[in-house]
Amino acid sequence: MNSSTLYIKNMVCPRCIKVVSTTLTALGIPVQAATLGKVTIDRTLTQQELQTVSEQLTAEGFELLDDKKMQVVEAIKNLVVETVHYGELDELKENFSTLLSQKLHKDYNTLSKLFSEQEGTTIEQYIIHQKIERVKELLLYGDLTLSEIAIKLGYSSVAHLSAQFKKVTGMTPSQFKQAGSAERKPLDAI
């Protein structure tokens, strides 16, 4: 049997993978593998099956991607989300441009240009916004000091983290924490 890959927008967490896998299985489409933004199934789907899958995924807040450029953009987003939210940035041996180029087997300038054209923002800004959302999450948990958060997320200093946080949110990390504000954005809305 031929396997095929479905590229899916807005898969940003392990629960998303579970929802997509469960949705496909309920439609009688066995899933071979599922990762952020991508599901491998054991056969090629008919047009009617693709339409049904698309409708079911849309109802769950996902979108089936058939455009190659958007597949690359979604792959960039998924790598950033996976690295920032589920990886250890303090252990990252290379910078994001190298990581993206290696993982996607494309020149970073090409990736950067494509991302900017499709998303209206740069990869760097997208990374910053993802990191700030992760900072918010860690601040609200209260388990780590700001210094520990800076190290965990690969910032050169607490001052750099604080300046970037204020630029993006309009408040300092301390003000955010004191406000007890839960003004966090869903990862797929960034």
Note the pLDDT of residue 189.
57
Which is nearest to 181 in space by CA: 147, 135, 146? 135
Residues 31-53: what's their mean pLDDT?
90
pLDDT digits (tens, 9 = 90+) for 61-116: 999 988 889 889 999 998 999 889 887 776 777 888 999 999 999 999 999 999 99
Determine the topology of domain 4-65 in CATH: Alpha-Beta Plaits (3.30.70)
Q: Is the domain 67-190 a CATH 1.10.10.60 member?
A: yes
pLDDT digits (tens, 9 = 90+) for 122-144: 999 999 999 999 999 999 888 88
2 by Cβ neighbours in 10 Å (0-12 / 13-18 / 19+) ranks as: exposed
- Predicted confidence band at 42 (pLDDT cuts at 50, 70, 90)? confident
Instruction: Kindly report, as residue ranges, where domains of CATH 3.30.70.100 are found in the chain.
Output: 4-65
User: Which amino acid type is present at position 75?
Assistant: A
Buried b (16+ CB within 10 A) or exposed e, 79-98: bbbbbbbeeebeeeeeebbe
Task: Evaluate if residue 162 carries a pLDDT over 90.
Answer: yes
Mean pLDDT taken over the chain: 88
